[in-house]
Amino acid sequence: MNIPNTGRRKRQPIHPGEMLRERRAVSPSLALRLSRFFGNSPEFWLNAQHTVDLWQAERAHLKELSKIHPLAKA
């Protein structure tokens, strides 16, 4: 199940590695292993990683992104 994040976060989301007490990115194969071990879905782990990656990328490129204007509707 995927719950869309429609609001802007002010705080960085929890990195999946912090849940494991280790700062490490979650790959698809690791997500499969973690889901088997913890009894949840691999999507849970991949979504957590995806959320952190997008949050960090948005902050890293904030200045550049602010210069991009949406395409006007026809």
Q: Is the dihedral of CA 29, 32, 38, 41 positive or negative?
A: positive
CA distance linking residue 41 with residue 11, whole number of Å: 25
More confident residue, 66 or 73: 66
Which CATH number is associated with domain 16-66?
1.10.260.40
pLDDT band at 9 (very low <50, low <70, confident <90, very high): confident
**What confidence tens digit (pLDDT) does each residue in 21-42 have?**
767 789 999 999 999 999 999 9
Q: Phi and psi for 11 in degrees, rounded to 5?
A: -105, 150
Tell me if residue 4 falls in helix, strand or coil: coil
Domain ranges for the chain, please list them: 16-66
Q: Return the pLDDT at 14.
A: 82
